[in-house]
Copies of this chain bind each other. A is one copy, B any other.
Amino acid sequence: MAVKKNKNIEFKCSLKDVLDIVGGKWSIPIIYTLFDGKKRFSELERTIPNINTRMLVKELKKLEENRIVKREAFATVPPTVEYSLNHKGMMLKPIIMDLHKWGEEFVDQ
């Protein structure tokens, strides 16, 4: 597997690549919110606690580049932009759910 942004030698599996994509502070909250279905920019901003505009833009761009998220813009006034998960992103659902379950079961112990 190719190593992308990370200048380091790849770890013995592609975990590092995965973490580059999904390891940021906001990527999983965004992806999780989109499990629910297509959302507009402002909806995401309202739904995800404590995120700010700049971070949301940045993360969405990154997720789009990694083809986890699909962006659809409509030339309305005012503009409408909708974000949704594509197949690659949807395939993260069971994993994130398992991570959540792990958290519920073990984090407090």
Which residues of A are at the interface with B, using a C-beta cutoff of 8 A? 1-2, 8-19, 21-23, 25, 28-29, 32, 48-50, 66-67, 88, 91-92, 94-96, 98-100, 102-109
Given A32-B11, A48-B11, the answer on whether A17 and B103 have CB atoms closer than 8 Å is yes
Q: How far is the CB of A26 from chain B (nearest CB, A)?
A: 10
**Chain B residues positioned under 8 Å from A15 (CB to CB):** 28-29, 32, 96, 99-100, 103
Which of A92, A94, A102, A105 is packed against the most chain B CB atoms within 10 Å? A102
| Contact A103:B13 (CB < 8 A) given known A49-B8, A98-B98 | yes
Least distance between A44 CB and chain B CB atoms (Å): 13
